[in-house]
Structure 1
Amino acid sequence: MNFSKTTPTQELSFETLIAFRTFINDLCNQLQNLQEDAALRNLSKITRVYRGQLMSNIELERIQSSISSYISMNSFLSTTVDRDLALFLIESAATSVSAPVENALKPVLFDIEIDPSSSRNVKPFADISSQSYFQTEKEVLFMIGSVFKIEKVTEVVDDRGTGSWTINLLLCSSKEHQLEQLVSYLNDKITKYKPKFIAIAHLLIDMGEYR
């Protein structure tokens, strides 16, 4: 299963989280190690990444109505530092779907800004090119639970009248003022239950994501 192919608005089910919890934990640890190694070797900091995909009208409208709100990723998020590659992936995805489906989907480019000054307080993310089979993709992977602020949503229409969308996100830490109360609540909720997967189930039920 390729978690990185899950779209930002899709979620890993409770069953999937439990079934792959060991793998997910191992991948999170590897991301942490790669991030720390990059810092120790004083590698150039990643300040902007991109993700190209098709998105349903419903998902796009939901994000449009949530400007200045926060979105938390319930899956690993695959991005690239190469904007042209992200745009190419959008075109490739569009040509692989049938016309009726294409009309229901919008080409979307996620433009994600990373503030180096706050990158220590965020969920781990790292350039995994050296670990990837497709090294030319210059992939940067974000851990489950990464939080982003929706800054802006804009439509661009080309000379042919074809519209595409750009969604600007800002990587945030749980220290953001608006998130502190939520993080505190979630931490309290988790400590109530043992083992932890029971806590996850209760959180999903509270959110209306699992029945």
Structure 2
Amino acid sequence: MITFIDGGTASGKTTLANKLNGIHITENKYLSKKHDFLDRQFDFTSQRLKELYFLKNEIYNIDTSLLSLISFTLFSKENTKEDKKIFLDRLIKMPENSIKIDKIIYLFALKKVLYERKDKDSSRERNSFKNNILHLDKEIKLYILLSSIYPESFLIIDTSKPMKEKIKMIDIFKGKSLFLNDILKTIRKLIK
């Protein structure tokens, strides 16, 4: 079973993943030597995809999933619409994108709350915090749109307030499995 836990920086992804049952796979640890932004993002995304493709039958909670990496690429000002289409077409052609996702949980919080969390958390650096904040509104809209297309697969949660009650809601949410490739094709159609 694979659960994607997505959301903006400091939205509570790692906190949630640590509270849920299963194996926690954290942020993308891969490096790319490519200088071109789009090629570098494709490297990151394809490496994460290959990692997920070979998971065994366990319960996995993926902190910062492929969809977050993809949305970061799509909302970057460096890329043209044509670049974004090429990026998605390359991902769609990968055989590893046939993985089945059981749940997608998207966490968001007010920007003020995200800044407060970032300032309080000295345990890790958040080098891309400002870049992530820049495209956060667009990312939230993308997840809301995807959740309207796949309502039984996406759960969107405002984490501006404490998570205790929300954990129960997450446990109750069963999710309907879907293939990553279907989501990628849907996103591709949305780029006009």
Q: What is the TM-score with the length of structure 1 in the denominator?
A: 0.31
Who wins on radius of gyration, i.e. which is larger? 1
The structure whose RCO (Cα within 8 Å, separation 6+) is larger is: 2
Q: Which structure has the highest helix share of the two?
A: 2
Q: Which structure has the highest strand share of the two?
A: 1
